[in-house]
Structure 1
């Protein structure tokens, strides 16, 4: 393709891109899919089964629960980082309050952040390296009586 033709094609593509609504890029891409699995939270108050979507790839972890308008009780998303590492999350483009449960590789709960504010760009970090972060609906961790040292088991946790 000759240079003038390339420039015209590039100009056309850029003008079409400019017509897209604000925020219509990859962040709202609905093609990111998540496998579904299950976990059980073991607390002093009892055992609670949780249906989870599993985020293991970079696009899945970047997308997370963004743009969702609801999350059913006893449902959530588990982020598997593959190795123990400090975990940092935020709520940009997340429309519902969430609890973020930080979980060590052995399945023990390191701690959690309750009722993260929808849309906030404040960084929420684990206090130590963790393998997983479980996101639940805001207030669910307290409703289960979850605390540091409790256990999480199930097929959604990798060996």
Structure 2
């Protein structure tokens, strides 16, 4: 019985031999760069808590990725949120963007997790619809509705 199973598996995993060369057909997958689409740049603007935890800052979040990829890079620019209406730059952070699935309130939710290059800051954002990102807490739970920490898509380009 064991030899029948071994014969079955070896036959199902064999490759055609053509003139001494082994040929395998590789299906188009997410690992194929062409299957991931063009280079995409998304620019969001809105408010988030200050990195220090004191107050609110206006932010500009730029995401760069392939159009059909869940991963990419980000640049987060924080500005003072005062009378100057978000004009004075505070800091610029860069890092990786990862796409996660599910939050405690919704198993099908899409979460973008931003992890800085230094690894000292992680920001979880709930992707709502096509143009809104809402801040989640560290355990990826929805914050109270009074927080108002949202980023709105302002610009989208695909090369």
Scaled by the length of structure 2, what TM-score is found?
A: 0.37
Higher relative contact order (CA 8 A, sep 6+): 1
Task: Compare CA radii of gyration and give the structure with the larger one.
Answer: 2
